[in-house]
Amino acid sequence: MRIRFQKHAVEGRSQLLDKLYADHLAKVSDPTTEVEIHTLPPLLYSTELPEDLVGFGTIGLLFADYFARTAVAAERDGCAAWISGAGQDPGLVAARVRATIPVVGYGDATWQTARQERHRLGLIGFIPHLVEPITDNIAAAGAALASYQLIDDGATVISRALAGDFEPFVRAYTVAAERAATAGAQWLVPAEGIPNELLVHLEIQELCGLPVIDPGGLAIKTAEHLVGLRALGITAKATTGYWHRRPSPDLLAHIEQILEFRA
């Protein structure tokens, strides 16, 4: 099967990060699964990291619309599933309405699993602006959040790690893990995709006696599982009701063409 993994970053800004994503997703996926990693358009931002863009709901809605459109494109291109590969899961809700293939979120896969297993979450992040949307998503999923810790000088720490200087990154996440453990967390979860790739690369699966969860890997395995369930006829996409009833392909193409924004 083919799975489209939609990243919230631009390819080529960090050769190490590009390699970490490719190696990690290939390792956790089944041998018969091809994970296609897609990124944001290169002209969207010129910095190494997009953290300056994610603090605005207005821009977040634009990201969500773009991500949802990539889910539609993935289905039309023959992909079996689509993943929103960012901590705040941009476009996840809209993608589940607009596409008929399984749609999975980097964050949502973890929140749903934590809720089912009754584990209290300890989030560790480096982007302060994402605390609000991610916390809202956790609450909407019905999962228990024990702690949301932010590392100090996060962007600098992450940039140094992407340059190969991992020690400040490990130290910062260990300190944050200690605070999360004290607050009653049972699972440690990297709030964003970039530190998740660094933790996987460094083979850090435990901090301060708590397991470190791999949301990226969990999203891949969840997508494979959902595709498998549909292939066996165990589950199916609903086709009735307002959010699931499908218009004809010709009508949908017509509406999309007419409503395409032109400046």
Name the β-bridge partners of 187.
121
DSSP code, position 247: P
Q: Is residue 263 over pLDDT 50?
A: no
Residues 161 and 230: beta-carbon distance below 8 Å: no
Q: What percent of the chain has pLDDT over 70?
A: 99
Q: Is residue 209 over pLDDT 80?
A: yes
pLDDT at 260: 80
Q: Which of 15-19, 42-46, 147-151 has the lowest mean pLDDT?
A: 42-46
pLDDT at 53: 83
**Can you list the domains of the chain with their CATH numbers?**
2-226 (3.40.50.12500)
| pLDDT-based confidence at residue 49 (cuts at 50, 70, 90) | confident
Residues 84 and 104: beta-carbon distance below 8 Å: yes
| pLDDT-based confidence at residue 14 (cuts at 50, 70, 90) | confident
Q: Is residue 262 over pLDDT 60?
A: no
